[in-house]
Copies of this chain bind each other. A is one copy, B any other.
Amino acid sequence: MARPRSSARTVDHPDVADVSLQQFLEALVDPVRRTVVSQLARAGKDISCGTFDVPVSLSTLTHHFNVLREAGVIRQYYVGTTKMNALRMEEMEERFPGLFPALVAAARDAAESPL
């Protein structure tokens, strides 16, 4: 099961049932955070924090990851010095049926149009 050479550092994740619609929308209304989500969705695999293509500093990016994690959108785990990020798609689907995929699709289209 990947055996991520596991680390001592752990990360807390909320139960999606405890995430409000307000929290979810506030997380996804930010263009940078939506870019992060889009890149995760497109990759189809977990991505480390530093490999995202976003126009903000690293410290700002850390902030955005925190917001996304606390909104139940992503799951994070350490692998050595790097921190991996994964979408919690199935859980979001349970919590807000249809919302997440529609949003990801809209974000994908939005990214393609000014091509």
* Chain B: minimal CB distance from A95 (Å): 8
CA distance A72 to B3 in the complex (A): 49
- B21, B22, B31, B102: the one contacting A99 at CB < 8 Å is B102
* Number of A residues with CB within 8 Å of any CB on chain B: 21
Give the copy number. 2
Asked whether any CB of chain B lies closer than 8 Å to the CB of A82, the reply is no
Q: Do A98 and B96 touch across chains, with their CB atoms under 8 A apart? A: no
Q: Mark A93-115, 1 if CB is under 8 A from B, else 0.
A: 00011110111011101100000
Instruction: Check if A102 sits within 8 Å of B106, measured CB to CB.
Output: no
- The residues of B that contact A28 with a CB separation of less than 8 Å are 25
A99 adjacent to B110 (CB under 8 Å): no
* A15 contacts chain B at the CB level, 8 A cutoff: no
Check A56 for interface membership: any CB of B closer than 8 A. no
Query: How far does the Cβ of A63 sit from chain B's closest Cβ, in whole Å?
Result: 18
Interface residues of chain A, those whose CB is within 8 Å of chain B, are 20-22, 25-26, 28-29, 31, 34, 96-99, 101-103, 105-107, 109-110
Not counting A97-B106, A98-B101, A102-B102, a sample of 9 additional A-B residue pairs whose C-beta atoms are within 8 angstroms of each other reads A20-B110, A21-B34, A21-B107, A21-B110, A22-B110, A26-B29, A96-B106, A97-B102, A97-B105
